[in-house]
Amino acid sequence: MKDKKKPRMIFSDIDGTFLTPESKVSPRTAKALHAVLGQGIPFALVSARMPEAIYPITDQLGVTIPIVSYSGAYVLTEDEQLLFSETMVPEPTHRLLDVLESEYADAVVNYYAGRHWYVRDRENERVQTEIRITSAQPIEGNFSERLEAGERPNKILLMAEPALCERAEKDLAARFPEFHVVRSAPFLLEIMDKSVSKATGIDVLLKHYGILREDALSFGDNYNDLEMLEATGTSVAMGNAPDGVKKAATCVTAPNTEDGIWKYLKDNHIIDA
């Protein structure tokens, strides 16, 4: 931001940033969002989540705002108009699915295409945990059949123990240079087209609104937020972020347990209280 002016647009990660550790929106965060929107400043949620896992949050808050889903691969306006969708190339995706089935049997694989979430087993414990956290509803299906039918994924997600996720991140990134492979949590591994990052989605929305990167502000808490933090003129790391993320940001605010978004916006006179 130039000359400490108010931002013209604000972007926020969801889990670990906009939400508390209990996956709730704190009263102060909700108040901050409404105060920003009341000034006519667009506010977008940016997440690895699918749209159906973001809209329950905005519905609860009674707001309609733009969203960046699948870590930048799927962008929707405040009225749910699709602005951008980047999917994974079929041939390497077929190979990836084969590798996951043969070498990563202990991982739970999720196939996200547009506004559909496909799983092999709805009753799997990790799938049920995701349903409880996000309110999104999966469909049981065969991933290769979906791909062959032309329903290309925006994202493939692995759920596994942290050690397996760490190993898979290094292994799959080396074997599949066509894809962007990154952990969004110790037990979650996101796989998307190589061109995709949260910065991709931010650029789509900034162009849509006619706003420059330097006039935007972003909040994040994890390594998959780094591109987003680098894509805005001012970037704020949450107090609960790893040191590497804090070093990459313009400044650091309080953790998500202490209303970090609200505190930053208040302390910098972007909102009154």
CA-closest candidate to residue 57, choices 112, 87, 12, 119: 12
Question: CA–CA separation, 62 vs 78, rounded Å?
Answer: 12
- Around Cβ 212, how many Cβ atoms within 10 Å? 13
CB-based contact 76:45 (threshold 8 Å) = no
Burial class for 223, CB neighbours closer than 10 Å (0-12, 13-18, 19+): middle
Helix ranges (H only) for the chain are: 27-38, 55-61, 90-103, 125-134, 143-148, 162-175, 198-209, 226-230, 243-248, 260-267
Tell me if residue 267 is catalytic. no
90, 144, 148 from 120: Cα distances, Å = 19, 11, 16
Cα gap 84→77, rounded to integer Å:
10
- Which of 3, 13, 171, 221 is an active site residue? 13
3-state secondary structure (DSSP) of residue 47 = coil
CA distances 78 to 75, 104, 149, 188, 205, Å, are 10, 38, 30, 28, 11
Alpha carbons 171 and 41: distance in angstroms, whole number: 42
Q: Which residues are catalytic?
A: 13
